[in-house]
Chains A and B, each alone.
Chain A
């Protein structure tokens, strides 16, 4: 193994192939400063466990599983909330809304977002892995550390609960608005 992560061939291959996906995963769940912190931590873990890291198609779900744990640890340690608190104290008027808030420009999206955030954390994560990371059930199983059958069940249940939550908010599906989506 090379002394430095940057000069190790296997690490560089994994890093180059999956950096963007890991960055997106973290950026979707954290603000940029925390997301950068988490990304570095994920690849540091990957570097130190390079011999145990799966190769090929399984590498990304494994990295996302590490990212999930890193984010949970960040949240657990309270560093993030302390930083947020400090930031709020310094800036009474938040200039930069959170990652999801930036996207919610249509009322119908706000309703779906509200329905999504009404679910428990485990359900929200499953839905995001399916919709945002576009993972399959076997890949979700790797990220969550459960069996494929369990992952399938979790996806089904979380989807059912999201549908019910949306229905409760009487959200009408507007495919046209979605297709135009983006930054509109």
Chain B
């Protein structure tokens, strides 16, 4: 009905079928109708919510997870994780791993401000990120369980298994390494971190993201953050290579004013 209205408007404004065709294509890809409303949630042929389409998700810059806590409560730090957060904040988060071009890992990837796309296959969903060190993550959708024991090797993005709960993609992840920060603000986590993320697309133009962080190594109880991600219709990913010319690394000094990355001392007697 709305679609017909748009078509009529276009016809009324501009004579000719070519304009209608172009307008319909733009409408199907996203954008807004004459009343400023988003098109409805797109779906695959089997009825599953389609997280893709002709466009990109313009991930927002979420620098401070404390401002995104659902319900507005305090982050339930353990004493050490609070002290480390304060230390990192105190030195302007200069040791942020992402500043060294390491992957954001975990929920922070959805708040690192470069666009992303979801590639939705039957047995997996792959999320590709333009930023964060040119990374992607894979969500297994084939019903498997997490690897157990030493088979679970800690990594930046961990091991993710997902399923659809009606129209919500629920992703359970364990096996994170400790080399990433939870957010730009300098909050840390341990290998015990377990996250449950929920992705919904209530309309064409919005991806609602929610992540529960459960890390008994760093926080006294689970806490949840959430934000909305806008759709960029007809836009495409571009290339971004963080590692190319990272002058920040060359200039980084430690707490004693010495270069953070040192060259290995050379043996003056060694002949090459």
| A, B assembled together | no
